Amino acid sequence: MHFGGALFLRSSLSEISEYKQASKSFKIEKFQNINMEVHHHPHPEKKGFREYFLEGVMIFLAVTMGFVAENIREKITENARARELAESMYQEVYTDSVQLQKIISSREHKEAQLVNLIRLTNDSNVAKASQQLMRSLTWSFLIVSPIIFEPADGILTQLRNSGSLRYFKNTELQKEFGALSVTISKVRSRLEVENSYSQQYVRPLILKFYNFKWYNELTKNGSVPVVDAIAKEPDPKEIPVIYNAASFNKTEIINTASYYLLILRGTRQIQLKNYMDINHTLLETLRKEYNLKGDK
Protein backbone atom coordinates (compact mmCIF):
# COMPACT_ATOMS: atom_id res chain seq x y z
CA MET A 1 0.00 0.00 0.00
CA HIS A 2 2.68 2.44 0.83
CA PHE A 3 4.49 1.65 -2.32
CA GLY A 4 1.34 2.04 -4.46
CA GLY A 5 0.42 5.29 -2.76
CA ALA A 6 3.87 6.67 -3.31
CA LEU A 7 3.71 5.75 -6.95
CA PHE A 8 0.37 7.47 -7.40
CA LEU A 9 1.66 10.58 -5.68
CA ARG A 10 4.70 10.82 -7.94
CA SER A 11 2.50 10.37 -10.96
CA SER A 12 0.20 13.20 -9.88
CA LEU A 13 3.08 15.53 -9.10
CA SER A 14 4.58 14.80 -12.50
CA GLU A 15 1.29 15.67 -14.27
CA ILE A 16 0.96 18.92 -12.31
CA SER A 17 4.54 19.90 -13.21
CA GLU A 18 3.88 19.18 -16.91
CA TYR A 19 0.68 21.25 -16.77
CA LYS A 20 2.46 24.22 -15.24
CA GLN A 21 5.25 23.98 -17.82
CA ALA A 22 2.73 23.85 -20.70
CA SER A 23 0.79 26.79 -19.29
CA LYS A 24 3.97 28.84 -18.98
CA SER A 25 4.99 28.02 -22.54
CA PHE A 26 1.51 29.07 -23.83
CA LYS A 27 1.69 32.44 -22.04
CA ILE A 28 5.15 33.14 -23.39
CA GLU A 29 4.05 32.28 -26.91
CA LYS A 30 0.91 34.45 -26.61
CA PHE A 31 2.95 37.41 -25.33
CA GLN A 32 5.37 37.03 -28.23
CA ASN A 33 2.49 36.97 -30.72
CA ILE A 34 0.96 40.08 -29.18
CA ASN A 35 4.32 41.81 -29.17
CA MET A 36 4.83 40.91 -32.81
CA GLU A 37 1.36 42.29 -33.67
CA VAL A 38 2.14 45.55 -31.88
CA HIS A 39 5.43 46.06 -33.63
CA HIS A 40 4.36 44.93 -37.07
CA HIS A 41 1.50 47.43 -38.05
CA PRO A 42 1.66 48.36 -41.75
CA HIS A 43 3.26 51.77 -42.37
CA PRO A 44 1.04 54.40 -44.22
CA GLU A 45 2.06 55.11 -47.76
CA LYS A 46 3.86 58.43 -48.05
CA LYS A 47 2.61 60.92 -50.71
CA GLY A 48 5.00 62.63 -53.02
CA PHE A 49 5.23 66.33 -53.83
CA ARG A 50 3.22 65.81 -57.03
CA GLU A 51 0.20 64.42 -55.13
CA TYR A 52 0.26 67.25 -52.58
CA PHE A 53 0.59 69.82 -55.36
CA LEU A 54 -2.36 68.41 -57.32
CA GLU A 55 -4.53 68.36 -54.19
CA GLY A 56 -3.63 71.98 -53.48
CA VAL A 57 -4.43 72.98 -57.04
CA MET A 58 -7.82 71.25 -56.87
CA ILE A 59 -8.70 72.97 -53.59
CA PHE A 60 -7.63 76.34 -54.99
CA LEU A 61 -9.70 75.85 -58.15
CA ALA A 62 -12.75 74.81 -56.13
CA VAL A 63 -12.55 77.91 -53.92
CA THR A 64 -11.88 80.17 -56.90
CA MET A 65 -14.79 78.78 -58.91
CA GLY A 66 -17.08 79.21 -55.92
CA PHE A 67 -15.96 82.82 -55.54
CA VAL A 68 -16.44 83.51 -59.26
CA ALA A 69 -19.88 81.90 -59.26
CA GLU A 70 -20.95 84.01 -56.28
CA ASN A 71 -19.70 87.18 -57.96
CA ILE A 72 -21.58 86.33 -61.13
CA ARG A 73 -24.75 85.70 -59.15
CA GLU A 74 -24.40 89.00 -57.30
CA LYS A 75 -23.72 90.86 -60.56
CA ILE A 76 -26.82 89.38 -62.19
CA THR A 77 -28.90 90.32 -59.15
CA GLU A 78 -27.49 93.87 -59.07
CA ASN A 79 -28.07 94.35 -62.80
CA ALA A 80 -31.67 93.19 -62.48
CA ARG A 81 -32.21 95.50 -59.52
CA ALA A 82 -30.57 98.41 -61.37
CA ARG A 83 -32.86 97.95 -64.36
CA GLU A 84 -35.92 97.79 -62.14
CA LEU A 85 -34.94 101.03 -60.40
CA ALA A 86 -33.99 102.64 -63.72
CA GLU A 87 -37.45 101.92 -65.14
CA SER A 88 -39.12 103.42 -62.05
CA MET A 89 -36.82 106.44 -62.18
CA TYR A 90 -37.48 106.91 -65.88
CA GLN A 91 -41.23 106.85 -65.39
CA GLU A 92 -41.04 109.36 -62.54
CA VAL A 93 -38.82 111.78 -64.47
CA TYR A 94 -40.79 111.37 -67.69
CA THR A 95 -44.08 112.12 -65.91
CA ASP A 96 -42.52 115.26 -64.46
CA SER A 97 -41.35 116.29 -67.92
CA VAL A 98 -44.87 116.06 -69.34
CA GLN A 99 -46.34 117.88 -66.35
CA LEU A 100 -43.76 120.66 -66.53
CA GLN A 101 -44.55 121.32 -70.18
CA LYS A 102 -48.15 122.09 -69.20
CA ILE A 103 -47.06 124.21 -66.25
CA ILE A 104 -44.66 126.26 -68.36
CA SER A 105 -47.49 126.93 -70.82
CA SER A 106 -49.70 128.16 -67.94
CA ARG A 107 -46.89 130.30 -66.57
CA GLU A 108 -46.33 131.93 -69.96
CA HIS A 109 -50.04 132.70 -70.13
CA LYS A 110 -49.94 134.19 -66.62
CA GLU A 111 -46.94 136.33 -67.57
CA ALA A 112 -48.85 137.60 -70.62
CA GLN A 113 -51.80 138.44 -68.40
CA LEU A 114 -49.55 140.38 -66.03
CA VAL A 115 -48.27 142.40 -69.00
CA ASN A 116 -51.88 143.00 -70.00
CA LEU A 117 -52.85 143.97 -66.46
CA ILE A 118 -50.05 146.55 -66.31
CA ARG A 119 -51.24 148.05 -69.60
CA LEU A 120 -54.92 148.07 -68.66
CA THR A 121 -54.27 149.50 -65.21
CA ASN A 122 -52.21 152.29 -66.69
CA ASP A 123 -54.75 153.13 -69.40
CA SER A 124 -58.10 152.40 -67.74
CA ASN A 125 -60.37 154.43 -65.56
CA VAL A 126 -60.33 152.25 -62.48
CA ALA A 127 -63.64 153.62 -61.30
CA LYS A 128 -65.18 152.11 -64.44
CA ALA A 129 -63.30 148.79 -64.62
CA SER A 130 -63.85 146.71 -67.74
CA GLN A 131 -64.59 143.01 -68.07
CA GLN A 132 -61.19 142.63 -69.67
CA LEU A 133 -59.47 144.23 -66.69
CA MET A 134 -61.29 141.91 -64.29
CA ARG A 135 -60.31 138.83 -66.28
CA SER A 136 -56.70 139.96 -66.48
CA LEU A 137 -56.65 140.79 -62.77
CA THR A 138 -58.08 137.35 -61.98
CA TRP A 139 -55.43 135.52 -64.01
CA SER A 140 -52.60 137.73 -62.76
CA PHE A 141 -53.29 137.87 -59.03
CA LEU A 142 -55.85 135.21 -58.14
CA ILE A 143 -54.98 132.09 -60.14
CA VAL A 144 -51.93 130.30 -58.71
CA SER A 145 -52.29 126.50 -58.75
CA PRO A 146 -51.79 125.99 -62.55
CA ILE A 147 -48.29 127.50 -62.32
CA ILE A 148 -47.05 125.53 -59.31
CA PHE A 149 -44.58 122.78 -60.16
CA GLU A 150 -43.80 120.20 -57.50
CA PRO A 151 -41.09 117.89 -58.88
CA ALA A 152 -41.43 114.26 -57.88
CA ASP A 153 -38.36 112.77 -56.26
CA GLY A 154 -39.68 109.69 -54.47
CA ILE A 155 -37.51 107.22 -56.38
CA LEU A 156 -34.49 109.52 -56.24
CA THR A 157 -34.86 109.85 -52.45
CA GLN A 158 -35.20 106.08 -52.15
CA LEU A 159 -32.02 105.56 -54.18
CA ARG A 160 -30.09 108.03 -52.05
CA ASN A 161 -31.35 106.88 -48.63
CA SER A 162 -31.15 103.13 -49.28
CA GLY A 163 -27.72 103.20 -50.89
CA SER A 164 -29.17 101.74 -54.09
CA LEU A 165 -27.23 104.22 -56.20
CA ARG A 166 -24.38 101.69 -56.07
CA TYR A 167 -26.33 99.53 -58.51
CA PHE A 168 -25.74 102.13 -61.23
CA LYS A 169 -22.18 101.69 -62.49
CA ASN A 170 -22.40 104.42 -65.14
CA THR A 171 -20.60 107.43 -63.64
CA GLU A 172 -22.41 109.86 -65.95
CA LEU A 173 -25.72 108.52 -64.71
CA GLN A 174 -24.66 108.98 -61.10
CA LYS A 175 -23.63 112.59 -61.84
CA GLU A 176 -26.99 113.25 -63.48
CA PHE A 177 -28.82 111.86 -60.44
CA GLY A 178 -26.86 114.29 -58.29
CA ALA A 179 -27.53 117.19 -60.66
CA LEU A 180 -31.25 116.40 -60.68
CA SER A 181 -31.35 116.40 -56.89
CA VAL A 182 -29.63 119.80 -56.72
CA THR A 183 -31.90 121.26 -59.41
CA ILE A 184 -35.04 120.05 -57.62
CA SER A 185 -33.83 121.74 -54.45
CA LYS A 186 -33.32 125.02 -56.34
CA VAL A 187 -36.75 124.81 -57.97
CA ARG A 188 -38.43 124.34 -54.60
CA SER A 189 -36.48 127.19 -53.09
CA ARG A 190 -37.47 129.49 -55.96
CA LEU A 191 -41.14 128.52 -55.67
CA GLU A 192 -40.99 129.47 -52.00
CA VAL A 193 -39.80 132.93 -53.09
CA GLU A 194 -42.78 133.21 -55.43
CA ASN A 195 -45.20 132.08 -52.78
CA SER A 196 -43.73 134.43 -50.19
CA TYR A 197 -44.06 137.41 -52.53
CA SER A 198 -47.61 136.46 -53.45
CA GLN A 199 -48.67 136.13 -49.82
CA GLN A 200 -46.99 139.34 -48.71
CA TYR A 201 -47.83 141.69 -51.59
CA VAL A 202 -50.39 140.24 -54.01
CA ARG A 203 -52.96 138.79 -51.61
CA PRO A 204 -53.50 142.06 -49.69
CA LEU A 205 -54.36 143.80 -52.97
CA ILE A 206 -56.85 141.09 -53.91
CA LEU A 207 -58.55 141.25 -50.52
CA LYS A 208 -58.79 145.02 -50.72
CA PHE A 209 -59.85 145.66 -54.33
CA TYR A 210 -61.15 142.46 -55.95
CA ASN A 211 -64.85 141.93 -56.70
CA PHE A 212 -65.66 138.33 -55.65
CA LYS A 213 -69.32 138.75 -56.68
CA TRP A 214 -68.09 139.05 -60.25
CA TYR A 215 -65.88 135.95 -59.72
CA ASN A 216 -68.72 133.85 -58.31
CA GLU A 217 -71.01 134.70 -61.20
CA LEU A 218 -68.28 133.97 -63.76
CA THR A 219 -67.53 130.54 -62.25
CA LYS A 220 -71.21 129.78 -61.53
CA ASN A 221 -70.49 129.73 -57.80
CA GLY A 222 -67.44 127.52 -58.21
CA SER A 223 -69.04 124.83 -60.40
CA VAL A 224 -66.78 125.81 -63.33
CA PRO A 225 -62.98 125.90 -62.79
CA VAL A 226 -61.84 129.50 -62.92
CA VAL A 227 -59.30 128.88 -65.72
CA ASP A 228 -62.03 127.37 -67.90
CA ALA A 229 -64.50 130.09 -66.91
CA ILE A 230 -62.14 132.90 -67.97
CA ALA A 231 -61.46 131.17 -71.28
CA LYS A 232 -65.00 130.08 -72.18
CA GLU A 233 -67.73 131.67 -70.06
CA PRO A 234 -69.46 134.88 -71.18
CA ASP A 235 -69.08 138.09 -69.22
CA PRO A 236 -71.04 138.07 -65.96
CA LYS A 237 -73.97 140.45 -65.54
CA GLU A 238 -72.29 141.65 -62.36
CA ILE A 239 -70.77 145.05 -62.99
CA PRO A 240 -66.97 144.73 -62.94
CA VAL A 241 -66.27 147.31 -60.28
CA ILE A 242 -63.09 147.66 -58.28
CA TYR A 243 -63.75 147.88 -54.57
CA ASN A 244 -62.22 150.76 -52.65
CA ALA A 245 -61.46 152.46 -55.95
CA ALA A 246 -60.65 155.71 -54.17
CA SER A 247 -57.58 154.10 -52.59
CA PHE A 248 -56.67 152.12 -55.69
CA ASN A 249 -53.14 153.30 -56.43
CA LYS A 250 -52.19 152.61 -60.03
CA THR A 251 -48.48 152.85 -59.32
CA GLU A 252 -48.76 150.31 -56.49
CA ILE A 253 -50.67 147.86 -58.69
CA ILE A 254 -48.32 148.33 -61.65
CA ASN A 255 -45.17 147.95 -59.55
CA THR A 256 -46.54 144.91 -57.70
CA ALA A 257 -47.50 143.28 -61.00
CA SER A 258 -44.20 144.23 -62.64
CA TYR A 259 -42.05 142.75 -59.89
CA TYR A 260 -44.23 139.64 -59.74
CA LEU A 261 -43.72 139.31 -63.49
CA LEU A 262 -39.94 139.51 -63.05
CA ILE A 263 -40.01 136.75 -60.41
CA LEU A 264 -42.16 134.45 -62.56
CA ARG A 265 -40.02 134.99 -65.64
CA GLY A 266 -36.84 134.35 -63.70
CA THR A 267 -38.20 131.08 -62.36
CA ARG A 268 -39.25 129.91 -65.82
CA GLN A 269 -36.12 131.02 -67.62
CA ILE A 270 -33.59 129.80 -65.05
CA GLN A 271 -34.74 127.24 -62.47
CA LEU A 272 -37.41 125.50 -64.57
CA LYS A 273 -35.26 125.58 -67.69
CA ASN A 274 -32.33 124.04 -65.78
CA TYR A 275 -34.64 121.36 -64.45
CA MET A 276 -36.00 120.63 -67.91
CA ASP A 277 -32.48 120.37 -69.32
CA ILE A 278 -31.24 117.88 -66.71
CA ASN A 279 -34.56 116.05 -66.95
CA HIS A 280 -34.11 115.49 -70.70
CA THR A 281 -30.44 114.56 -70.31
CA LEU A 282 -31.26 111.98 -67.65
CA LEU A 283 -34.05 110.48 -69.72
CA GLU A 284 -31.71 110.16 -72.68
CA THR A 285 -29.00 108.48 -70.59
CA LEU A 286 -31.49 106.04 -69.05
CA ARG A 287 -32.85 105.15 -72.49
CA LYS A 288 -29.35 104.53 -73.81
CA GLU A 289 -28.05 102.63 -70.77
CA TYR A 290 -31.06 100.34 -70.27
CA ASN A 291 -32.57 100.33 -73.77
CA LEU A 292 -35.75 102.04 -72.55
CA LYS A 293 -38.15 103.37 -75.12
CA GLY A 294 -40.72 106.15 -75.10
CA ASP A 295 -42.77 106.66 -71.95
CA LYS A 296 -41.88 103.24 -70.49
Does the pLDDT at position 9 exceed 80?
A: no
Q: Are residues 172 and 149 in contact, defined by beta-carbon separation less than 8 angstroms?
A: no
pLDDT band at 31 (very low <50, low <70, confident <90, very high): very low
Residue extents of the structural domains in the chain:
55-290
Does the pLDDT at position 67 exceed 80?
A: no
pLDDT band at 85 (very low <50, low <70, confident <90, very high): confident
**Can you give the pLDDT at residue 45?**
60
